[in-house]
Amino acid sequence: MPRKPDMTRSDTAWPVLLSAVLLSGAVAAAVAAAMLRYGVEPAPGIASVRLGEMTAAYTTRAASEGKTGEDVRAWGAALEHALDRVAERRGVVLLPARAVAAGVPDLTPEVEAALAALLARGRADGVSDSGEEW
């Protein structure tokens, strides 16, 4: 007995279906590539700072010079701001040198320079007298 032809399927539908699948895959690949290129921020790097040495040197100097508690608090606030500024400028996470095994840059000199600049200006909050950020 002869079969009845299946009218739901056509030989001309396969190329159209294949084209639709390929086009969908190409669009998905283009969207994924755009998301990776423009949608994801690069992870910050890691750098070290010799905080223990900086703090020990300051406390020794502060004790010998008879610094007040207010001076010490101002130095601590300036140090915190200097660390933030260097980390932001360099796009890194700063870790104490003892927490890093090896292979990362040591930004202690840069932090010390930023700290000295902040202390020379006399304010540790990072805002100049005219209201602009340093």
Per-residue confidence at 2, pLDDT binned at 50, 70, 90? low
Cβ burial, residue 49 (10 Å; 0-12/13-18/19+):
buried
Does residue 83 carry a pLDDT above 70? yes
pLDDT at 133 over 50: no
SS3 of 85-118: HHHHHHCEEEEEHHHCCCCCCECHHHHHHHHHHH
> Which sequence spans correspond to the domains of the chain?
13-42, 45-121
pTM value is: 0.62
Please determine, for residue 115, whether its predicted confidence score (pLDDT) is greater than 90: yes
The amino acid at residue 45 is: G
**For residue 130, is pLDDT > 60?**
no
Q: How many CB atoms lie within 10 A of CB 37?
A: 8
Q: How confident is the model at residue 90 (pLDDT cuts 50, 70, 90)?
A: very high
The Cα–Cα gap between 129 and 9 comes to: 79
Mean pLDDT of 71-91: 93
Cα separation, 23 vs 33, in Å, equals 15
Cα–Cα distance, 98 to 50 (Å, whole number): 8
Amino acid at 85: R
Residue 1 pLDDT: 61
Give residue 110's pLDDT. Answer: 96
Residue 17 pLDDT grade (very low, low, confident, very high; cuts 50, 70, 90)? confident
**Comparing 12-26, 54-68, 91-105, which segment has the lowest mean pLDDT?**
12-26
- Find where tokens 């992870």 sit: 43
